[in-house]
Structure 1
Amino acid sequence: MARVHNFNAGPAGLPLPALERAQRELLDFEGTGMSIMEHSHRGKAFEAVHNEAISLLRQLLGLSDDYHVLFMQGGAAMQFAVVPMNLLPPGRSADYILTGGWSEKALEEAKRVGTVRVAGSTAVDKRYTRIPHQGELSLDPNAAYVHMTTNNTLFGTQWHWLPDTGDVPLVADMSSDILWRKMDISRFALVYAGAQKNIGPSGITVVLARKDLVDSARKDIPVIFRYATYAANNSLYNTPPTFAIYLMRNVLAYTLEIGGLEEVERRNRKKGELLYETIDAHPDVFRAPVEKESRSFMNVVFRLASEEMEKRFVAEAAKEGMVGLAGHRSTGGIRVSIYNAVPVASVERLTAFMRDFAKRG
């Protein structure tokens, strides 16, 4: 079987060794005579996998004991509601920094829960081409929390610095760039991430929550939506997506085997540099709308001269085994998602195709 060069934005590609491990263990997990999918989530076999996934995340992130590692469901979309349900008490407000479509959705969902305000936005004509500067933010020192989206899949922007929020807890949606490089998680009070881009398959959401924040969270919400419920039950309050957690464990173990986040970052930067150098070298054909200091190393977006040319670019690339290159339906253009599992060789193949395409016009 010939595997394609997968540039899908999510669900995205997974490391081949992690998939091959799952293939070997699918019918008989560690001699138990059944698949991990068939094991009880309260049995020793799955519990070991579950705890290993938590341990690997802590090791890769350098996460202190001040944080809970929680596994939830519903993706980032559910966290848009769960964050304010837990952290936004009556009589308080929360600040939201808008840098793309997903931060807009987080804001709109939070409005249904409590009082929120826009503390900064880089939207111009409904498009986002950069990350704001600290001086552009209007932060409330009495806010319950400040919410940001670290990488913006639709518009190809990424935070390469963190806002100073003082004593106000910083909450981040890292769905599309968690584990792309080493990061000081202690700068955040809470981080959430849908796994389907960098760390596993769809169906599992990782939440890294400071313990004091969980302890002081609201208790007048349904039990199933409380972070404290997951923390008290090691994320096993109800049946979790066991196979998704198993596959995430495989991905995390592979990440550690190849050298951890230092090696992951080296590869990711090389991929991004290859793509942006190719785009910038052919300004008559490819146009990157994002300001250089805000360019994403996860989702590289660019436009061609016309929609017809963009459709031809996507179709010709697909014939050569490169898939997932069409931009989001709301933005158009080309989007190259180069998450952790995308090999450098795939980007080298794509940039060779882009140079040839530019010559042909």
Structure 2
Amino acid sequence: MKSNELNFSGGPGALPETVLEQTRVAISALPETGISVLGMSHRSDWFRAILDEAEQNLRALLGISDDYAITFQQGGSSLQFAMIPMNFAAQGFAPPEYVTSGYWSGRATAEAARVTAMNVAWDGHATGYRQLPALDQLDISGSAAYLHYVSNETVEGLQFPVCAEAPPVPLIADMSSDFLSKPFRPDTYSMIYAHAQKNLGPAGVTVAVIRRSLLERIPDGLPTILDFRTHVTHGSNYNTPPVFAIYVLTLITRWLRFEVGGLHAMQRINERKARRVYDTLDALCDNVTVHADRRWRSQMNVAFKFADSRLDDAFIEAAREQGIVGLEGHRSIGGLRASLYNAVTEQAVDTLTNALMEFSLQHA
């Protein structure tokens, strides 16, 4: 099995083999143009067609209506952390509410506080970021500008369930690490955003799905490139966009639609992968600790540690000898992390779980 197929990194993550092959060809010369994708003009008809296809594929996969604009931006979610309060924490509303459930939502909360007055609706610090709240039970102001949360905490391995009902205030979600991993109802959200390098392709592009009525709140006078209306008006082509990253994203949306068979099929695959890993870890009993409480375990990121911390690094090395890479835990909590993004195959998960069982028997 190739190393790419055994990449369990939290990001950049694995890419589907068929997408890698098409990308390899495109770097040399796109079949449609004879020019390398790395040299294609962002003003070309070819790229306009790629942008249009990427948008249409996302609408088809998720059932996104024309009530929403879809944009492809740069700067990752870190830029969105500042842009969102700049654009949407409008006068006439109570301060926005933020859920701080882990490392990345903590970054979003801190960045928002630099931009505007805001409230923390819930903070999981006291639990060591092992649990999540029920969004519909949070005590938030009914006049809040919006409620922001991170749907999947990549570092701690926590994942919210799909939000079934829209809250009384606009709901904004950073879905960077579980976007397109399963279906959900876009109409319960006012904005969804997700950077690549997880399920969408290489780093460089961030998808932002925004309810058009929310755009009416944006104050005049923002720097042009930090105004969401700029990207909507210019069709994600205001300044030179990340052509290569958007091209690969388009290939991945094709793969999801026409090879995987849509998000319901992708969800079933991801459920099987996650179940296999967690069942293996649970079978190791007190020898291994999973970071997240069972109810909130993520299907995308499995954070765990051996009871004997010396075995964490030892297993990383043993796994690497079998071609398994990317198992290092995030620097903030250490330990290990296996990320099970869409392109990680069930066969790769079997390789990982077999390695875990073999290693544990050797060090029992």
Per the TM superposition, whether the score is higher than 0.5 is yes
Q: Which residue of 2 aligns with 1:190?
A: 191
Identity %: 38
Partners of 1:145 and 1:117 in 2: CA distance: 11
Q: Which residue of 1 aligns with 2:352?
A: 350
Q: 1:167 to 1:136 in 2, by over 3 A?
A: closer
Residue 112 of structure 1 deviates from its aligned partner by 1.1
1:6 counterpart letter in structure 2: N
Alpha-carbon contact 2:146-2:171 (below 8 Å) kept = yes
Q: Which residue of 1 aligns with 2:200?
A: 199
Q: Which residue of 2 aligns with 1:114?
A: 116
Partners of 2:245 and 2:254 in 1: CA distance: 14
The secondary structure found in structure 2 opposite 1:303 is: strand
Partners of 1:251 and 1:232 in 2: CA distance: 25
Q: Which residue of 1 aligns with 2:316?
A: 314
Q: Which residue of 2 aligns with 1:149?
A: 150
Residue 2 of structure 1 deviates from its aligned partner by 3.7
Deviates more, 1:243-252 or 1:215-224: 215-224
Partners of 2:2 and 2:277 in 1: CA distance: 24
Residue 216 of structure 1 deviates from its aligned partner by 2.5
Partners of 1:307 and 1:235 in 2: CA distance: 47
The secondary structure found in structure 2 opposite 1:200 is: coil
The secondary structure found in structure 1 opposite 2:255 is: helix
Superposed CA offset, 1:300-353 (max 9, x none): 011101221111011101111111111101101110000001011111111111
2:312 counterpart letter in structure 1: E
Alpha-carbon contact 2:203-2:245 (below 8 Å) kept = yes
Partners of 2:141 and 2:170 in 1: CA distance: 11
Superposed CA offset, 1:237-281 (max 9, x none): 111000110011111111111201111111100000000101111
Q: Does 1:179 align with 2:172?
A: no
Q: Which residue of 1 aligns with 2:290?
A: 288
Partners of 1:216 and 1:323 in 2: CA distance: 45
Partners of 1:143 and 1:136 in 2: CA distance: 15
Q: Which residue of 1 aligns with 2:28?
A: 27
Residue 166 of structure 1 deviates from its aligned partner by 3.4
Q: Which residue of 2 aligns with 1:99?
A: 101
The secondary structure found in structure 2 opposite 1:128 is: coil
The secondary structure found in structure 2 opposite 1:112 is: helix
Alpha-carbon contact 1:141-1:166 (below 8 Å) kept = no
Partners of 2:136 and 2:85 in 1: CA distance: 26
Deviates more, 1:193-202 or 1:90-99: 90-99
TM alignment of 1:251-330, pairs within 5 A: 251-257=252-258, 258-330=260-332
- TM-score with structure 1 setting the length: 0.96
1:121 counterpart letter in structure 2: D
Deviates more, 1:61-70 or 1:86-95: 86-95
Any stretches of 5+ residues in structure 2 without a counterpart?
none
Partners of 1:45 and 1:163 in 2: CA distance: 38
Superposed CA offset, 1:112-171 (max 9, x none): 11110111122226x200111347622111100000000001111000143866331000
Q: Which residue of 2 aligns with 1:3?
A: 3
Q: How many pairs does the alignment contain?
A: 360
Runs of 4+ aligned residues of structure 1 deviating over 3 Å after TM superposition are: 163-166
The secondary structure found in structure 2 opposite 1:171 is: strand
Partners of 2:230 and 2:26 in 1: CA distance: 31
Partners of 2:145 and 2:20 in 1: CA distance: 41
Any stretches of 5+ residues in structure 1 without a counterpart?
none
Partners of 1:86 and 1:121 in 2: CA distance: 24
TM alignment of 1:36-55, pairs within 5 A: 36-55=37-56
Q: 1:134 to 1:31 in 2, by over 3 A?
A: closer
TM alignment of 1:128-147, pairs within 5 A: 128-134=129-135, 137-147=138-148
Superposed CA offset, 1:72-107 (max 9, x none): 100000000000010012464100011101111111
- TM-score with structure 2 setting the length: 0.95
Partners of 1:161 and 1:341 in 2: CA distance: 21
Partners of 1:65 and 1:136 in 2: CA distance: 30
Partners of 2:164 and 2:331 in 1: CA distance: 30
Superposed CA offset, 1:165-190 (max 9, x none): 63310000000100110010111000
Alpha-carbon contact 2:3-2:324 (below 8 Å) kept = no
2:283 counterpart letter in structure 1: A
1:252 counterpart letter in structure 2: T
